[in-house]
């Protein structure tokens, strides 16, 4: 049963109480299902709207069949609320939300596949900082079963950051030895978050410390545009600055060993060199790499045209899928893997926080927020330091 897709398993929760318990409440089943059945998807959303689109990355191009695409309603977002950032890990999504007429910044851990979600304790950052708060990343520590969230104010002169631990259920301040202001979430790989500067800046989630790593030794005129993860290893994309028809994908085969950088694939992204204002990595899969390409300026009218590009690893070809066409660039996309995992000790039951109705796989389920107390190491893949390519 672990090899069945999430949508089918959700439907089977109506067969019996035992099946419902196993599928929705057994952490060992959730872990086994996640490790055996990896379903790669992308969430497309407008930060103003409560509705998301979840699209299957495996069948998006190959069959033209959109039956696996789903409409999702964000269960904790109300009209007027603003989603500010999203990060994914183990099929869970960390979302920061600025509620309408509120002085708080709310942070949720949400499973789009089951619609279970948990609201984190109140953020230490208040209204005067909310417009510039960034979730710098979200990750999982396999040794302790701990999920961590890193946030800070993008333009604050204070070099302190705030980090949340699901095991302790508290926020704490951590000192950063230098000015660190990034406008994007860090790339999760090897239980650390990573950003591109003049070199790679990494934040170790276990020891809660920053370190630096060298970039690949690429040719003059090339630049590293994006970081990602492939088979548990940090990877990087380089190309001629914003003007290319091909990009190179590098993999750090041995983590934190700069000499182990290896150029693994050359990916075609266009039939001719084009000037790109944005090219963002969504996910590196076994068969191909998926990127978001946007925006495109047409004449004097600025129009953001969002496209997904899938470039094959073994074939010199690429495929495009138009996602949306929006003014002002309000549409965003993040990649994630479907899972039954959850954050907390009870995915369903009763609590003082109440119930929220949510739809998963075409069936309405009752979803109840429980208290947060992760104490067991039973979620997510094992920590990987060396790639076997």
Tokens representing residue 258 in the block: 């700069």
Q: Is residue 386 part of a domain?
A: no
Q: Is residue 362 part of a domain?
A: yes
3-state secondary structure of 155: coil
Q: Is residue 49 part of a domain?
A: yes
Tokens representing residue 218 in the block: 């690429």
Q: Is residue 377 part of a domain?
A: no
CB 193 within 8 A of CB 136: yes
Structural domains in the chain (count): 1
CA distance 371 to 323: 37
Span 146-171, pLDDT tens digits: 999 998 776 665 667 889 999 999 99
Query: What pLDDT does residue 349 have?
Result: 37
DSSP state of 185: P
CA distance 44 to 155: 27
Secondary structure of 308-319 in HEC code, one letter for each residue: EEEEECCCCCEE
Residue in this structure with the two tokens 């994309």, named with its chain if needed: 237
CA distance 193 to 246: 27
CA distance 146 to 141: 5
Element (H, E) at 97: strand 92-98
Structural domain of 89 = 6-368
Tokens representing residue 254 in the block: 């041995």
Query: What pLDDT does residue 346 have?
Result: 53
Residue in this structure with the two tokens 């999920």, named with its chain if needed: 147
Query: What pLDDT does residue 301 have?
Result: 52
Length of the chain: 389
Strand ranges across the sheet with 209-213: 187-189, 192-196, 200-204, 209-213
CA distance 141 to 380: 9
What CATH code is carried by the domain that includes residue 351? 2.120.10.80
pLDDT means over runs of 10, the chain (389 residues): 84 89 90 87 82 84 65 86 84 86 81 92 64 77 94 68 92 80 84 90 93 83 83 88 80 94 91 77 92 65 73 88 66 88 61 34 34 32 51
Q: Is residue 379 part of a domain?
A: no
Partners of residue 227 on adjacent β-strands: 236
CA distance 202 to 195: 7
- CA angle 49/51/55 to nearest 5° reads 125
CA distance 359 to 25: 17
CB 136 within 8 A of CB 111: no
CA distance 273 to 242: 9
What Å distances lie between residue 368 and 27, 37, 81, 360, CA to CA? 17, 26, 21, 14
Q: Is residue 56 part of a domain?
A: yes
Q: What are phi and psi of 149, to 5 degrees?
A: -125, 130
Span 225-263, pLDDT tens digits: 789 999 999 999 887 666 778 888 999 999 999 999 999
Element (H, E) at 147: strand 146-153
Phi/psi region, residue 64 (left: phi>0; alpha: psi -120 to 50; beta: rest), is left
Q: What angle, rounded to 10 degrees, do the helices at 17-25 and 27-36 form?
A: 70
CA distance 359 to 349: 17
Q: What are phi and psi of 18, to 5 degrees?
A: -65, -45
Residue in this structure with the two tokens 């055996």, named with its chain if needed: 36
Q: Is residue 326 part of a domain?
A: yes
Q: Is residue 218 part of a domain?
A: yes
Query: What pLDDT does residue 350 have?
Result: 31
Partners of residue 156 on adjacent β-strands: none
Query: What pLDDT does residue 249 have?
Result: 92
Q: Where are the alpha helices (DSSP H) in the chain?
A: 6-12, 17-25, 27-36
Contacts (Cβ under 8 Å, ≥6 apart) of 292: 278, 279, 280, 281, 282, 306, 307, 308, 309, 333
């Amino acid at each position: 049963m672990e090899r069945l897709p999430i949508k089918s398993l959700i439907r089977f929760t109506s067969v019996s109480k035992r099946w419902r318990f196993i599928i929705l409440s057994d952490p060992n089943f959730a872990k086994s299902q996640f490790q055996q059945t990896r379903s790669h998807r992308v969430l497309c959303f407008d930060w103003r709207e409560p509705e998301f689109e979840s699209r299957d990355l495996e069948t998006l191009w190959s069959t033209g069949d959109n039956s696996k695409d789903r409409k999702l309603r964000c269960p904790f977002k109300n009209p007027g609320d603003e989603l500010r950032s999203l990060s994914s890990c183990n099929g869970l999504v960390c979302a920061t939300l600025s509620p309408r007429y509120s002085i708080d910044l709310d942070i949720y851990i949400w499973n789009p596949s089951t619609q279970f979600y948990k609201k984190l304790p109140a953020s230490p950052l208040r209204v005067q900082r909310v417009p510039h708060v960034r979730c710098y990343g979200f990750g999982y520590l396999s040794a302790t079963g701990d999920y961590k969230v890193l946030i800070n104010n993008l333009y604050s002169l204070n070099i302190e950051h705030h980090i949340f631990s699901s095991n302790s259920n508290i926020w704490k301040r951590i000192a950063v030895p230098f000015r660190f202001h990034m406008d994007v979430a860090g790339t999760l790989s090897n239980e650390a978050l990573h950003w591109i500067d003049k070199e790679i800046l990494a934040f170790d989630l276990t020891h809660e410390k920053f370190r630096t790593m060298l970039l690949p030794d690429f040719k003059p005129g090339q630049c590293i545009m994006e970081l990602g993860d492939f088979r548990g290893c940090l990877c990087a994309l380089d190309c001629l600055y914003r003007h290319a028809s091909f990009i190179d994908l590098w993999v750090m085969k041995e983590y934190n060993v700069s000499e182990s950088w290896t150029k693994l694939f050359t990916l075609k992204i266009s039939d001719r060199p084009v000037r790109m204002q944005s090219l963002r990595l969504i996910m590196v899969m076994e068969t191909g790499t998926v990127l978001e390409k946007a925006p495109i300026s047409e004449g004097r009218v600025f129009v953001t045209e969002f496209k997904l590009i899938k470039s094959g690893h073994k074939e010199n070809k690429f495929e495009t899928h138009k996602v949306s066409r929006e003014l002002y660039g309000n549409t965003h996309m993040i990649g994630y893997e479907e899972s039954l995992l959850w954050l907390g000790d009870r995915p369903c039951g009763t609590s003082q926080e109440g119930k929220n109705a949510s739809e998963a796989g075409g069936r309405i389920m009752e979803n109840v927020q429980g208290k947060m107390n992760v104490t067991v190491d039973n979620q997510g893949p094992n920590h990987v330091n060396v790639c076997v390519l």
